[in-house]
């Protein structure tokens, strides 16, 4: 159709274009002649030249693959074009290829499904509506037999791939139906999962086997190939089925030719060598009659086009257009944003070139900016467009916009390119509308290079009949690249954005990580925070937020003798998300009133259907009763009735009369680790409840809305290393029946209900929902300097510093700190002066560390660095552990922001991440309040900072501002006597957990927690090396310091000795036969261990037992180390004689007793065993007759004992084996006596093993 934008280097000699498919159409390198007879053509290869009747000559391969050679012309010496004018050259190739169209058809169908899905994914509300019908339609296409295709050429791979595509699409359709149920809480998850389906579809598009060769279009000068473009054949293949047709089949498309080989990569591939407006059609000769259908109308219909279905008739050499129209193009170039920095300063001097056809216009140059505002109207007169007027309006010509950087020396540097379409106005049409400015994406290669705000419109011009606009054209003159086109015309008022006045307020906080500039450090000011923080400026901005200009941050270093040096720049694409439109109190109150009225109306309507009055004239009592409680009243509960409160911890003893019933004997032994493991179990239980579809129990004090929001995302994930804590306990519970396991879990819940809990986050604290990364009023922007490249790692080297600037969002009629915006937006923000802080870092444990030793283990230790302070704990390394428990607390005295910027964000956050709020208030014990400010003081401080009245305590109520919190019992009933004596501290803590409900200034406060942070190695970026469980407390040094750090050191095991006396056995099965008499007999002995089979001890042998009875009187001694809180035995031993350190492991405290039959010449025979958990095992029977297999039941009917509490027991226990159907078969009975002694008791009453 046209060839324009030809590079100046290619315009010296006549050029032509060549089209080729494989070897067919190659006019320079020669070609292979085709066969002359049908017998020489493989029956599987008749594809694009299919014929059922006709002469043999129709099978001859022929082509006209090149256009006439012409010398390029130009109007402005910038871009050249070929003067095709009214006669558009045509080329064609008729050749024979194997019939593999089905491969392309399948790929096209899947590609259109994926495109439709991707289009719908852009609209979240309709993300998967169109997927299932498309999949079903494609499945039907795959199953149907296409009579026009030959099945002889289908390979086994084709058949298997077809099955794969059908099965995969059916699977995707099934998943899509499951995703249709979308809730607000799952919309993000379903959105990501649907993108996974899109990836699966994209992987099915490319066929591993080749089909028809791709089409190459070459720009040739003489015998040299100078530029090319490659078009996949499946994109233009023709099919009568719309789903199988290529996306560009029978369409006019715009192609940009590029340099071949390495010259076309990198910066060489950015420039266009030529732009072609071309119409391509590819299909079988059977469908040849369809090729002219997509050509734009307005041409002279020749005999070749009328009889296009004839196989032996070639297309015409050119198409002559008889309809052409003149237009005027108006390009409204307003501004651009986020352009690429091309100068050494990181900025550019951009100007734009607008190209349509063979014409080009240039805007002004805007110096040193990445967001130029040209505000210029470029007019193109006498633009000739071929075709019918209606077709031109539906498919107007393409406009190319190229952005360049003007350099003082050398030629302009290319910054990016954008493509647009104009709005067309024809003569006599009455539907003209003023065009709106639109953002066009700018690309440089495959990289996004900014956005352009512009609008384009074309007006048809009236012409004198028979007048040729090119009849009086003279030879082009060299007027230079920049032509004086008269005065600069601005964008008309109706098109340019309307402006409104804004107050632009900026809080200049500080700089971070500033690098050297010209080998000199940026040392003024030495304090990285600015002294003068708030500045404001009255400016005019567009009323339409989509037109808002970008925000450019430039940092300049003021040096001696009045010199200024640019440090770096940062561009924010648009400031519309930072625009603040205050809502008046009147409008907000009116909205609240309408909301309440609608709620009342809906509730009355719901009740009226079921509670209609018997007398219609009477007034229902419901009208006199408010259905909605007052908005200022909130109900809170205190859970001190569900767990015991240690005596002397701030509450009167009369308050805990009822809770004392639940106090366990081990209450005094509770420590921080009891709290940790109880929190882990509670987290796992909540996850299990959610998997069953149950809602976790919400507690008003501990589980306020903050917890609900923070748990919304983490609950959907697995908890990684945190869940490893109870894996052993869960596997032990699996050995019991489900009823028994559930009973044990209920018992554990009761025992742990008295323990205070905290939150365990499976990822970083700042990434929790509702905390916004602690950047609610401060954000960090990277400063760039130097030229931008295509490589991301090179762009990282351009970062010269970071700039902190507050950018608020999602606000109502108050400022970022909750104040009246009439007196300035940045009220009440903390001072940015240097701040001295005490930082405590608690490191609990590490999970899933990367092995570093040859034995698959590691010897981890901790190294902490805060600013210039570095602490190493290498001497306390933990040997051969990938899940070490550290239990360390490290203290630092830091100065913000010099030492740490990240911690400063936490310190100043409104979410108060300095010290988490505990679930309950205790003044002593393992849950002692850590903050130097008590809950009442903290609540008073928050009210004072937010300028809120309160807090006021009276009669179990707390009033904060207009909000009143009323204490009620957890069951909703009246308060009991002990609950009415709750102190103000407990009430204040409950209000703090509900601080987000306070109007205007309320927000979620961080609870007591442990966060899980990923570990990374700088030598292996992006690869996680494990996780670390930590939490951080920060306290200002200018206030009273907190108490001692929390003791989280690992528990130390206690030394015990277990003494087991094996008295007798009875009814042991007899395995051997007596040699002389043939009677059944066994040589019985008993084996036992506690730590493992390597620690086993055994009795002597009772020979020739004929009744299964054995007498031993044998003692086992098992010394061991025991952790009572975890109910684990600690084993420390060297793995080999060459090991330097001992390896520590933990196993459940289980005693195993086995009975064996001793053999002289063969292996001993195993007869039966019993394993007893020392914390809970069946009580022994008094006699052998009472010892039955019923003692092995796990339904809770068998009484159990805890040896650690009872210390000594004696009785008979059954020995059993498991059958093939998992049943228990009684194999004998053993009489034993178990006694447990501490290490001191065992030393005082020492005894030997063997016989007693």
pLDDT tens digits for range 306-342: 887 787 788 888 999 999 999 999 999 999 988 888 7
- pLDDT of res. 610: 39
Contact 1232, 778 (CB under 8 A): no
1245: phi then psi, degrees, rounded to nearest 5: -110, 65
How many Cβ atoms are within 10 Å of 154's Cβ, its own excluded?
16
Where in 406-491 does DSSP place strands (E)?
413-420, 423-425, 438-444, 447-460
* Percent of the chain's residues with pLDDT above 90: 23
Cis peptide before 70 (omega within 30 of 0): no
- pLDDT of res. 705: 32
Query: What CA–CA distance (Å, rounded) separates 640 from 644?
Result: 7
Residue 265 CA to its chain's centroid (Å): 33
* Share in percent of the chain as helix, strand, coil (round to 5): 25, 30, 45
Q: Examine the pLDDT at 143 and tell me if it is beyond 60.
A: no
CATH architecture of 497-582+771-814: Sandwich (2.60)
Contact 839, 1034 (CB under 8 A): yes
Residue whose entry in the numeric block shows the structure tokens 């990374």: 1016
Query: What CA–CA distance (Å, rounded) separates 759 from 739?
Result: 29
Contact 801, 555 (CB under 8 A): yes
Query: What CA–CA distance (Å, rounded) separates 940 from 935?
Result: 8
Query: Looking at the domain 759-770+815-970+982-1036, which fold is it?
Result: Immunoglobulin-like (2.60.40)
Q: Examine the pLDDT at 854 and tell me if it is beyond 70.
A: yes
Closest CA to 847 of 814, 882, 823: 882
- pLDDT of res. 629: 39
- pLDDT of res. 60: 63
CATH architecture of 323-465+479-495: Sandwich (2.60)
Q: Examine the pLDDT at 752 and tell me if it is beyond 60.
A: no
Closest CA to 988 of 961, 944, 951, 962: 951
**Rg, Å, the chain Cα set:** 42
Question: Could you tell me the strand order of the sheet in which 251-257 lies?
Answer: 2-4, 274-280, 251-257
Contact 1173, 1195 (CB under 8 A): no
Find the range with the poorest average confidence among 62-71, 450-459, 582-591: 582-591
The per-residue b/e assignment along 524-544, b for 16 or more CB within 10 angstroms, e otherwise, is: eeeebbbeebeeeeeeebbee
Of 589 and 279, more confident: 279
Contact 792, 920 (CB under 8 A): no
Q: Give the angle subtended at the CA of 1100 by the CAs of 1098 and 1106, to the nearest 5°.
A: 115
Mean pLDDT score across all residues of the chain: 75
Closest CA to 435 of 399, 386, 388: 399
Closest CA to 168 of 106, 81, 76: 106
Q: Can you give the residue ranges of every domain in the chain?
A: 2-29+61-97+213-320, 100-205, 323-465+479-495, 497-582+771-814, 759-770+815-970+982-1036, 1054-1245
Contact 248, 281 (CB under 8 A): no
- pLDDT of res. 43: 39
Q: Which residues pair with 1033 in a beta bridge?
A: 840
- pLDDT of res. 743: 52
Task: List, in order, residues 6 or more apart from 177 with CB less than 8 Å away.
Answer: 132
The CATH number that domain 1054-1245 falls under is: 2.60.40.150
Rounded to 10°, the helix 935-945/984-993 angle is: 50
Contact 496, 455 (CB under 8 A): no
Per CATH, 323-465+479-495 and 497-582+771-814 having the same topology is answered yes
- pLDDT of res. 929: 92
Query: What CA–CA distance (Å, rounded) separates 334 from 378?
Result: 11
Residue 140 CA to its chain's centroid (Å): 36
Do strands 447-460 and 423-425 pair parallel, antiparallel, or not at all (unpaired)?
parallel
Average pLDDT over residues 791-808: 48
- What are the tokens at 68? 């006439």
- pLDDT of res. 291: 84
Query: What CA–CA distance (Å, rounded) separates 394 from 305?
Result: 24
Q: Give per-residue pLDDT as tens, 260-316.
A: 988 888 777 888 899 999 989 888 888 888 888 888 888 888 888 888 778 778 888
Q: Give per-residue pLDDT as tens, 1026-1061.
A: 999 999 999 988 888 888 999 999 888 899 999 999
Query: What CA–CA distance (Å, rounded) separates 1114 from 1100?
Result: 8
Q: Examine the pLDDT at 843 and tell me if it is beyond 50.
A: yes
The DSSP symbol for 524 reads S
- pLDDT of res. 133: 45
The DSSP symbol for 105 reads H
Torsion of CA 420, 426, 429, 434, to 10 degrees: 40
Q: Examine the pLDDT at 646 and tell me if it is beyond 90.
A: no
The DSSP symbol for 1181 reads B
Region of 994 please: left (phi>0), alpha (psi -120 to 50) or beta.
Answer: alpha
Contact 1174, 1059 (CB under 8 A): no
SS3 1016: strand
Q: Give per-residue pLDDT as tens, 496-517.
A: 888 888 877 777 777 766 666 6
Average pLDDT over residues 841-859: 90
């Amino acid at each position: 159709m046209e060839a324009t934008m030809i590079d100046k280097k290619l315009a010296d000699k006549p050029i032509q274009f060549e089209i080729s498919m494989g070897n067919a159409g190659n006019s320079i390198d020669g070609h292979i002649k085709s066969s002359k007879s049908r017998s020489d053509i493989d029956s599987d290869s008749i594809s694009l030249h299919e014929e059922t009747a006709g002469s043999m000559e129709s099978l001859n391969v022929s082509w006209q693959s090149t256009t006439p050679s012409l010398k390029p012309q130009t109007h402005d010496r910038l871009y050249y074009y070929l003067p095709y004018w009214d006669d558009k050259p045509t080329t064609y190739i008729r050749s024979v290829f194997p019939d593999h169209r089905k491969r392309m058809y399948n790929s096209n169908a899947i590609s259109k499904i994926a495109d439709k899905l991707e289009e719908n994914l852009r609209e979240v509300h309709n993300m998967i509506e169109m997927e299932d019908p498309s999949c079903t339609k494609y499945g039907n296409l795959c199953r149907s037999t296409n009579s026009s295709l030959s099945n002889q050429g289908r390979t086994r791979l084709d058949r298997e791939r077809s099955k794969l595509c059908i099965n995969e699409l059916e699977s995707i359709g099934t998943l899509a139906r499951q995703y249709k149920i979308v809730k607000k809480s799952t919309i993000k998850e379903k959105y990501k999962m649907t993108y996974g389906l899109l990836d699966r579809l994209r992987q099915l598009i490319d066929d591993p086997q080749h089909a028809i060769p791709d089409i190459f279009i070459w720009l040739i000068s003489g015998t040299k190939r100078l530029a090319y473009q490659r078009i996949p054949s499946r994109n233009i293949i023709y099919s009568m089925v719309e789903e199988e047709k290529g996306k560009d089949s029978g369409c006019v498309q715009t192609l940009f030719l590029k340099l071949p080989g390495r010259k076309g990569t990198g910066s060489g591939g950015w420039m266009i060598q030529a732009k072609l407006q071309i119409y391509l059609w590819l299909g079988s000769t059977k469908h040849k009659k369809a090729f002219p259908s997509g050509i734009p109308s307005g041409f002279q219909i020749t005999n070749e086009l009328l009889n296009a279905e004839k196989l032996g008739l070639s297309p015409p050499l050119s198409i002559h257009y008889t309809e052409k129209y003149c237009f005027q193009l108006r390009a409204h170039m307003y501004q651009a944003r986020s352009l690429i920095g091309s100068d050494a300063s990181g900025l550019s001097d951009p100007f734009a070139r607008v190209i349509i056809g063979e014409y080009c216009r240039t805007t002004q140059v805007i110096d040193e900016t990445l967001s130029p505002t040209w505000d210029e109207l470029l007019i193109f007169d006498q633009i000739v467009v071929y075709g019918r007027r209606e077709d031109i309006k539906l498919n107007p010509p393409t406009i190319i916009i190229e952005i360049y950087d003007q350099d003082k020396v050398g030629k302009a540097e290319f910054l990016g390119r954008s493509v647009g379409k104009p709005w067309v106005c024809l003569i006599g049409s009455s539907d003209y509308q003023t065009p709106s400015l639109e953002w066009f994406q700018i690309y440089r290669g495959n990289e996004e290079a900014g956005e352009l705000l512009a609008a384009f419109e074309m007006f048809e011009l009236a012409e004198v009949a028979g007048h040729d606009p090119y009849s009086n054209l003279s030879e082009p003159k060299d007027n230079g690249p920049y032509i004086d086109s008269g005065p600069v015309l601005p964008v008309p008022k109706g098109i340019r954005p309307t402006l409104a006045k804004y107050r632009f307020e900026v809080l200049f906080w500080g700089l971070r990580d500033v690098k050297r500039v010209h080998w000199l450090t940026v040392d003024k000011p030495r304090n990285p925070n600015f002294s003068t923080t708030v500045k404001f400026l009255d400016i005019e901005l567009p009323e339409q937020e989509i037109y808002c200009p970008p925000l450019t941050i430039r940092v300049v270093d003021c040096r001696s003798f009045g010199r200024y040096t640019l440090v770096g720049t940062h561009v924010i694409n648009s400031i519309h998300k930072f625009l603040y439109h205050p809502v008046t109190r009147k409008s907000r109150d009116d909205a609240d009133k309408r909301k309440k009225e609608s709620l009342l109306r809906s509730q009355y309507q719901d009740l009226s259907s079921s509670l209609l009055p018997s007398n219609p004239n009477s007034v229902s009592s419901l009208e006199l009763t408010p259905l909605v409680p007052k908005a200022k009243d909130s109900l809170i509960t205190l859970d001190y009735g569900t767990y015991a409160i240690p005596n002397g911890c701030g509450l009167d003893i009369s308050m805990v009369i009822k809770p004392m019933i639940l106090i366990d004997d081990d209450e005094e032994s509770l420590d921080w680790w009891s709290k940790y493991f109880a929190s882990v179990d509670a987290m796992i239980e909540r996850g299990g409840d959610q998997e069953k579809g149950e809602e976790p129990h919400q507690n008003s004090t501990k589980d306020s809305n903050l917890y609900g929001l923070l748990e919304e995302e983490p609950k959907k994930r697995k908890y990684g290393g945190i869940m490893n804590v109870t894996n052993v306990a869960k596997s032990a519970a699996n050995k019991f029946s489900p009823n028994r396991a559930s009973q044990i879990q209920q018992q554990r819940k009761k025992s742990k209900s008295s323990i205070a809990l905290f939150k365990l986050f499976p990822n970083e604290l700042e990434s929790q929902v509702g905390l916004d990364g602690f950047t609610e009023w401060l954000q960090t922007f990277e400063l760039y300097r130097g030229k931008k490249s295509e490589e991301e790692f090179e762009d990282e080297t351009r970062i010269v510093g970071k700039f902190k600037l507050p950018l608020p969002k999602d606000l109502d009629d108050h400022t970022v700190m909750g104040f009246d915006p009439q007196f300035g937006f940045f009220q009440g923000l903390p001072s940015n002066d240097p701040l001295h802080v005490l930082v405590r870092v608690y490191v609990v444990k590490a999970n899933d560390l990367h092995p570093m030793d040859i034995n698959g283990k590691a010897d981890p230790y901790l190294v902490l660095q805060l600013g210039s302070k570095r602490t190493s704990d290498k001497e306390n390394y933990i040997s051969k552990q990938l899940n070490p428990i550290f239990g360390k607390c490290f203290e630092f005295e830091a100065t913000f922001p010099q030492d740490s910027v990240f911690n400063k964000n936490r310190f100043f956050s409104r979410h108060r991440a300095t010290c988490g709020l505990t679930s309950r208030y205790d003044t002593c014990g393992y849950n002692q309040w850590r903050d130097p400010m008590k809950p009442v003081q903290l609540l008073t401080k928050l009210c004072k900072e937010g300028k809120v009245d309160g807090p006021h305590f009276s009669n179990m109520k707390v009033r904060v501002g207009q909000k009143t919190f009323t204490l009620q019992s957890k069951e909703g009933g009246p308060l009991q006597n002990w609950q009415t004596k709750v102190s103000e501290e407990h009430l204040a803590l409950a209000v703090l957990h509900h601080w987000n409900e306070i109007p205007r200034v309320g927000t979620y406060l961080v609870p007591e927690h442990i966060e899980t942070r990923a570990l990374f190695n700088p030598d292996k970026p992006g690869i996680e090396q494990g996780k670390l469980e930590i939490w951080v407390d920060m306290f200002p040094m200018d206030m009273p310091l907190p108490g001692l750090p929390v003791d989280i050191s690992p528990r130390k095991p206690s030394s015990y000795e277990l003494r087991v006396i094996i008295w007798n056995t009875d009814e042991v099965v007899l395995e051997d036969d007596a040699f002389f008499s043939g009677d059944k007999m066994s040589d019985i002995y008993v084996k036992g261990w506690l730590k493992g089979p390597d620690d086993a001890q055994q009795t002597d042998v009772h020979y020739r037992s004929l009744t299964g009875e054995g007498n031993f009187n044998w003692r086992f001694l098992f010394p061991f180390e025991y952790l009572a809180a975890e109910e684990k035995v600690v084993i420390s031993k060297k793995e080999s004689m060459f090991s330097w350190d001992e390896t520590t492991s933990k196993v459940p405290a289980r005693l195993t007793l086995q009975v064996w039959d001793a053999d002289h010449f063969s292996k001993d025979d195993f007869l039966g065993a019993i394993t007893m958990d020392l914390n809970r095992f069946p009580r022994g029977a008094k006699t052998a007759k009472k010892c039955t297999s019923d003692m092995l039941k796990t339904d809770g009917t068998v009484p159990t004992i805890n040896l650690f509490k009872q210390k000594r027991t004696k009785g008979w226990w059954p020995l059993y084996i498991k059958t093939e159907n998992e049943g228990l078969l009684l194999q004998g009975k053993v009489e034993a006596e178990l006694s447990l002694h501490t290490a001191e008791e065992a030393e005082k009453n020492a005894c030997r093993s063997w016989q007693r």
